[in-house]
Amino acid sequence: MPTLTAGRIRHGVVYSLKHAPGSEEEADFLRANAALESIPGVEAFELLREVSPKNDYRFALVMEFADRAAYEAYNNHPEHVSFVRDRWDNEVTDFLELDSEAL
């Protein structure tokens, strides 16, 4: 992953789902999560499976934005808002979110 340049925002989340590993419900959630990539302003989108035995999270999501305005537009976009309300809040059991900018 390239170094984050000044002014850009990297949004990262690690999370676990209530669904059984390998289930159709898990796959359906991940497809819906991947669809967030199509929201305007989202760059460098990656949906990943967590492999570290050092934590209990199962997935990671990372994306970048050109600037804080693009990040805020994503946060307020109707597709993101409905995904959080209709899927995330009901299907994610635990998460840690990191929104970062370069020092």
pLDDT band at 3 (very low <50, low <70, confident <90, very high): confident
Q: Is the pLDDT of residue 4 over 90?
A: no
For the segment 13-29, what is each residue's pLDDT rounded down to a tens digit? Answer: 999 999 999 999 999 99
- Look up residue 94 and give its two tokens: 């635990």
Q: Is the pLDDT of residue 1 over 70?
A: no
CATH of 9-100, one of 3.90.180.10, 3.90.230.10, 3.40.1370.10, 3.30.70.100: 3.30.70.100
Q: Given 3-state DSSP classes, what are the helix, strand and coil percentages for the chain, each rounded to the nearest 5? A: 35, 30, 30
Which DSSP string do the residues of 22-61 spell out, in sequence order? Answer: T-HHHHHHHHHHHGGGGSTT-EEEEEEE---TTS---EEE
